[in-house]
């Protein structure tokens, strides 16, 4: 999904800015005439930065050479190429074969520009939108992309789709093809442009003629190369091990301003590795060309191999203003042992971040103190009057600290001596009805010994999780780390069959409907949702809806900051850390533009450097 979100601007402002004539259209419900405007771009707050007629985004080189091969690496595996359904694990780069109706620029938090759709018609009340599809759009077999293909994708998502994807579309009431090139969506709400942009940037059409032929079934997994309409097609599949894409030289969208200068490699191969250390060793040996580094130890000490010393590999730290998601241990409150917030708070006291920062993270990270780090959407300092006004109706249900005290995770001196925090944790456990018996944390009521299993699907965080496991064991808790394969991890998290998982909740800017899937009560019991903690908190639900209904940035921020306070003082996660910089290592056979977008790395398809190229004479 593109890092863009909805906007709410008046028709008059959009029409004036874009210098487009307003169109008159009847509103059938009451017989009145409603003014509509047809625009090529949307933005929530202010005007789109890139005016009609712009030729390319600033981080793209329109003269970039085409050709060569780039090999990438991914951890884990995949067992399906069906991008719609919940079942199965798909390659993260599968978006290379797809087109969305609109895309973000990377330079604005809240703008969308026409891609598959050349323009959008909107009424004053934003109760519907009509997307005008480009007539030149083609599937890779030459068949035109039609509005019916978008309807087919919508219907398939509603019937079989991943709950997280469906959550982005939940304010869309109906989708219909007015003709082959006009697609109308009708909303459940009025006055909001956000659901329109969420739809435009989240959904990709699916080729109905392909999926309904030769016994194919879009409700099932498949490893047959799926037909696409994007800049690349699937060339080869080695199930679970690698996937190779080839550039579509006559791709219909190659000259769009949103695509010019991108997708320069003739071939893109993604190799899969089950072990993070093995994957890094493969990079050192030259098995792939580009990686984003996420381990401080390696970034600090690991890049001393020959290729890095002699200049065949370079490293760069790229700063970004992109708001980040919060990584942390997500505690599954569906389990009775985590139902009491005092237990969850106690577990936070037993996590010695300062020791881990000093001994494992090489001092490279910042502690996460919000669900919205590196942004203006998280809580800071005491609640503002605007936040208090939102929270006041829930005063009786919320801890007093929500209204008075800035949240800060427990701190230590980093020495490994965590006695003060251990004492506080023990006090909280006792208050919650747990006590040490024969050195084991035991329920005074049931006699149950407190056990905690940390479920991990990659093993990449073993060096961080294991010290926490040992600290819990010293407190009498029967803690264990269990590393499983990618498929089992996916299946267990889909079914919420875990005690604790590490999750990083990325959000879009400004935060939107993804908040419902992460933190909303309605998602807590929906198989496959991202509400791993099982949060069912009316105050959180209310703050989410306030954020979604906000008409200006200040109101969005007040609502998300109030939400942040509710979540933090509910102790649904033990927060980890974040890095405001992005660490990139690459073969010097690759070239890239001088500019990097302000709110993105320019990686629309999960790790694929879309604006990079192979230097002439270095083609693989």
Tens digit of each residue's pLDDT (9 = 90 or more) over 178-201: 999 999 999 998 888 888 988 999
Domains and CATH numbers, the chain: 65-98+230-320+580-619 (3.40.190.10), 99-220 (3.40.190.10), 326-578 (3.10.105.10)
Is residue 12 over pLDDT 50? no
pLDDT over 70 at 529, yes or no: yes
pLDDT, tens digit, for every residue of 435-447? 999 999 999 999 9
- Do β-strands 500-505 and 451-456 pair in parallel, antiparallel, or remain unpaired? parallel
Long-range Cβ contacts of 216-220 (<8 Å, 24+ apart): 218/82, 218/84, 218/85, 218/156, 218/160, 219/85, 219/156, 219/159, 219/160, 220/82, 220/85, 220/87
- Tokens 């000259």 belong to 255
pLDDT tens digits along 221-260:
999 999 999 999 999 999 999 999 999 999 999 999 999 9
pLDDT at 36 over 80: yes
Distance (Å, whole) CA 246 – CA 69: 9
CA distance 241 to 120: 41
Helices assigned H by DSSP within 186-263 = 194-202, 208-211
Average pLDDT over residues 94-114: 92
pLDDT tens, position by position, 336-386: 999 999 999 999 999 999 999 999 998 889 999 999 998 999 999 999 999
**What's the CA gap between 351 and 180, in Å, rounded?**
57
Q: What ranges in 212-310 are assigned the alpha helix state H?
A: 276-284, 296-297, 306-309
DSSP 521: G
**Whole-angstrom Cα distance, residue 218 to residue 82?**
7
Q: Rg of the chain's alpha carbons, rounded to an integer?
A: 25
Mean pLDDT, range 544-571, rounded to an integer: 95
294 pLDDT tier (thresholds 50, 70, 90)? confident
Cα four-point dihedral sign 353, 354, 356, 362 = positive
DSSP symbols for 166-193: HHHTTTEEEEEEEETTEEEEEESSSS-S
For the cut 80, the answer to whether the pLDDT of residue 167 exceeds it is no
Residue 29 pLDDT: 39
**What is d(CA 571, CA 563) in angstroms, rounded to the nearest whole number?**
13
Alpha carbons 132 and 114: distance in angstroms, whole number? 10
Element (H, E) at 614: strand 613-614
The pLDDT assigned to 43 comes to 86
Average pLDDT, the chain: 90
List the beta strands (DSSP E) in 82-187. 102-103, 111-114, 117-123, 128-133, 172-179, 182-187
Residue 596 confidence (pLDDT) above 90:
no
pLDDT at 8 over 50: no
Is the pLDDT at 325 greater than 90? The verdict is no
Does the pLDDT value for residue 33 go beyond 90?
A: no
Phi/psi for 295 (5° steps) reads -115, 120
Give, as one character, the DSSP assignment of residue 164: H
**Range scoring the smallest mean pLDDT among 12-21, 148-157, 340-349, 458-467:** 12-21
Residue 410, pLDDT score: 96
pLDDT at 24 over 70: no
State percent of the chain over pLDDT 70. 93
By CB atoms closer than 10 A (0-12, 13-18, 19+), residue 565 is buried
Measured between alpha carbons, how far is 47 from 34 in angstroms, rounded to an integer? 23
DSSP letters, 292-318, are: EE--HHIIIII--SHHHHTTSEEEEEE
First-to-final CA distance of the chain: 30
- Per the CB < 8 A criterion, the answer to whether 452 and 472 are in contact is yes
Looking at residue 618, what is its pLDDT?
75
* pLDDT-based confidence at residue 34 (cuts at 50, 70, 90): low
What was the pLDDT predicted at 151? 98
pLDDT at 412: 95
Collect all residues with Cβ–Cβ distance below 8 Å to 34 and sequence separation of at least 6: 24, 25, 26, 27, 123, 124, 125
CA dist 431 → 118, 426, 435, 569 (Å):
61, 9, 9, 17
Query: Given CA atoms 263, 268, 271, 276 in this order, what sign does their dihedral have?
Result: negative
Question: Residue 460 has which token pair?
Answer: 């990449």
Per-residue model confidence (pLDDT) at position 31:
46
| Whole-prediction pTM | 0.77
């Amino acid at each position: 999904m593109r890092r863009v979100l909805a906007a709410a601007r008046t028709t008059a402002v959009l029409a004036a800015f874009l210098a487009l004539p307003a169109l008159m259209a009847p509103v059938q419900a009451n017989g009145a005439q409603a003014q509509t405007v047809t625009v090529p771009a949307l933005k929530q707050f202010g005007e789109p930065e890139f005016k009609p007629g712009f030729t390319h985004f600033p981080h793209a080189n329109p003269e970039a050479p085409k050709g060569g091969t780039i090999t990438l690496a991914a951890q884990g595996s995949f067992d399906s190429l069906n991008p719609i359904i919940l079942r199965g694990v798909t390659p993260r780069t599968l978006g290379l074969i797809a087109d969305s109706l609109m895309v973000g620029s990377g330079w604005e938090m809240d703008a969308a520009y026409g891609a598959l759709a050349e323009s959008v018609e909107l009424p004053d009340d934003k109760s519907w939108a009509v997307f005008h599809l480009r007539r030149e759009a083609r599937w890779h077999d030459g068949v035109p992309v039609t509005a019916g293909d978008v309807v087919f994708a919508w219907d398939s998502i509603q019937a079989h789709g991943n709950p997280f994807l469906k959550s982005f579309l939940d304010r869309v009431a109906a989708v219909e093809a007015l003709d082959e090139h006009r697609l109308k969506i009708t909303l459940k709400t009025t006055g909001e442009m956000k659901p329109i942009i969420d739809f435009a940037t989240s959904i990709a059409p699916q080729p109905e003629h392909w999926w309904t032929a030769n016994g194919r079934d879009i409700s099932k997994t498949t490893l047959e190369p799926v037909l696409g309409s994007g800049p690349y097609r699937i060339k080869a599949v080695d199930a679970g091990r690698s996937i190779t894409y080839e550039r579509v030289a006559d791709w219909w969208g190659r000259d769009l301003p949103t695509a010019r200068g991108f997708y320069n490699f003739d071939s893109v191969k993604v190799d899969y590795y089950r072990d993070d250390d093995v994957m890094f060793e493969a990079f050192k040996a030259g098995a792939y060309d580009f990686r984003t580094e996420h381990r401080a130890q390696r970034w600090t000490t690991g890049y001393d191999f020959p290729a890095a010393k002699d200049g065949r590999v370079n490293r760069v730290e790229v700063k970004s203003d992109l708001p980040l998601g919060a990584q942390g241990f997500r505690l599954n409150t569906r389990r009775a042992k985590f139902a009491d917030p005092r237990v969850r708070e106690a577990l936070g006291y037993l996590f010695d971040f300062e020791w881990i920062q000093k001994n494992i993270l090489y001092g490279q990270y910042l502690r996460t103190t919000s669900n919205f780090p590196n942004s203006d959407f998280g809580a800071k300092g005491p609640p503002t009057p605007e936040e208090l006004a939102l929270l006041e109706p829930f005063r009786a249900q919320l801890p007093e600290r929500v209204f008075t005290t800035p949240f800060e995770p427990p701190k230590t001196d980093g020495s490994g001596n965590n006695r003060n925090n251990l004492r506080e944790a023990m006090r909280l456990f006792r208050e919650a009805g747990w006590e040490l018996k024969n050195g084991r944390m035991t329920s005074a009521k049931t006699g149950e010994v407190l056990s905690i299993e940390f479920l991990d699907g990659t093993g990449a965080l073993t060096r961080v999780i294991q010290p926490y496991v040992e600290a819990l064991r010293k407190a009498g808790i029967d803690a264990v780390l269990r590393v499983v394969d990618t498929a089992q991890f996916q299946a267990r998290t889909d079914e919420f069959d875990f005690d604790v998982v590490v999750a990083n909740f990325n959000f879009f800017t400004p935060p939107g409907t993804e908040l419902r899937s992460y933190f909303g009560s309605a998602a807590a019991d929906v198989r496959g949702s991202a509400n791993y903690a099982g949060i069912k908190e009316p105050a959180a639900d209310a703050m989410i809806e306030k954020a979604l209904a906000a008409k200006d940035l200040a109101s969005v921020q007040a609502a998300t900051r109030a939400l942040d306070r509710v979540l933090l003082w509910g102790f649904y996660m033990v927060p980890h850390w974040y890095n405001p910089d992005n660490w990139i290592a690459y073969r010097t056979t690759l070239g890239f533009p001088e500019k990097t977008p302000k709110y993105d790395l320019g990686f629309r398809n999960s790790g694929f450097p879309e604006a990079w190229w192979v230097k002439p004479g270095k083609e693989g």
